[in-house]
Amino acid sequence: MARREYGFVFDGEPVFEHVRRDVPVPPERKLEDDVFVYVMGPYTAFDATRAYSDAGELASPFIEDPLFDPDRHVTDDGRGSFEAALDELCGTLRAEFGVRAFLATDVEIPTDRASDDDEPSLSVLDQSVAFAAVSDAVVFVFTRAGLTTGAGAEVGAILGEFHLRRANPEPVRKPRERVRVFAHEGFSSASIDEIPATYGVDAMPFDEKADLVRKIQQFLVNVERTDPDRTLPIFEPYTES
């Protein structure tokens, strides 16, 4: 397996070592090398009771959705966890395709907000940049049920960190071919909708979960086809001039 340190370090150890050690292993590895797929999206589901005073009159405070299911993805305190829906999606990708699909929360690196004052930590954005950099493929998933406050800005920050903005004269750090946005039909967000034009990263619509899984498979197959011998770099680290 190719080394993927790229200068991303946590607590004296390359971030990739934390990823390789912590993220779930598929029940059956179907490829020679581990393929790491970083899945991102909102972690909180939109809850009408937190936005509207008369939401109690609704049959359900949650939006009908192909990924988020209130019967499975609501925490004990009644909060809708879109993270749980994404985690379930990762499980499907691992089981069906043998890839090491994971969320940021699968890696045991504390965030600044969750750590004690004297405990080593990384900010949420620094974690996402590092996890995306060392992964073979990066998948962003959005539906109407996910509360996208902040998620769109995080996507833009990550793509900007890799110099993918079309007008950026700096060398691209991660090939666009390794990044894909998947948005449910009917989902709309100004910041997400502009990603193809601004960053040159493809965005694919989907209707049901099975359609999403099939399109992610097609995306991963294309990544593998263009990278039979690691000719398509995972990440281009900075070099001293």
- Per-domain boundaries in the chain: 15-27+34-52+59-225
Which residues have CB under 8 Å from 220's CB, separation 6+?
35, 37, 97, 99, 137
Full pLDDT tens readout for the chain, 241 residues? 557 889 899 999 999 999 999 999 998 876 668 999 999 999 988 776 665 555 455 546 677 889 998 889 888 777 888 999 999 999 999 999 999 999 999 999 998 775 566 788 999 999 999 999 999 999 999 999 888 877 888 899 999 999 999 989 999 999 999 999 999 998 988 889 999 999 999 999 999 999 999 999 999 999 988 765 557 899 998 876 5
Contacts with 108 (C-beta within 8 Å, 6 or more apart), sequence order: 18, 22
Coil, helix or strand for 84? helix
Closest by alpha carbon to 125, among 143, 145, 109? 109
pTM for this predicted structure:
0.91
Location of structure tokens 């993927």: 4
Give the CATH architecture of domain 15-27+34-52+59-225. Answer: 3-Layer(aba) Sandwich (3.40)
Query: In whole angstroms, how far apart are CA 45 and each of 34, 42, 80, 97, 125?
Result: 31, 8, 5, 27, 20
CA distances, 235 to each of 40, 79, 129, 161, 162 (Å): 18, 37, 11, 12, 9
Strand partners, 80: 74
